[in-house]
Amino acid sequence: MRLTRFTDYALRVLIYAALNEGRQITITELTEKYNLSRNHLLKVVHLLSKEGLLLSKRGRNGGLVMGKAADKITVGYVVSRFEPQKSLVDCINPRCVLVVGCVLKRALDEAHEVFIDRLNQYTIADLIKEKNYMLLQFGLDINTENH
């Protein structure tokens, strides 16, 4: 299974926001750090805000902060909310002649459930445990008093 870029960006935004807990981050900052499209990130941030995972404040002093604690957001939840395709195969369009007796769809659906269940064992907080290493990768100033 491969995640869409939209889901990938959503996870990256949450990781970055969690790494910078205690301060607002901006779309411009995200686009520069990740080298991503501003328009695409705006859509991602909008949905993250709609889901309550981020809080956004508009205006000159605006920015983004975590809407929920990083240890309360599971990776599986984000993936299941952001991935548009719920089933790995489409047996209806075009209609498959094997649909009546085929077990493939059920097997793939069960595998998808196991995949999401496994991702639900990880939170955004789990993804930032190696915080100092990640901050270095972003070129951020590491001050152990603040992080």
Where exactly are the structural domains of the chain?
5-137
What is the maximal distance between C-alpha atoms in the chain?
Answer: 63
Give this prediction's pTM: 0.82
Q: Outline where DSSP puts E strands in 20-102.
A: 54-57, 63-66
Q: What is the pLDDT, as a whole number, of residue 147? A: 39
Q: Which residues of the chain have pLDDT under 70?
A: 131-147
**CA 22 to chain CA mean position, Å:** 20
| CATH 3.20.190.10 assigned to 5-137 | no
Q: What is the pLDDT, as a whole number, of residue 139? A: 60
Distance CA 131, CA 70 (A): 13
Query: What residues form DSSP beta bridges with 123?
Result: 74
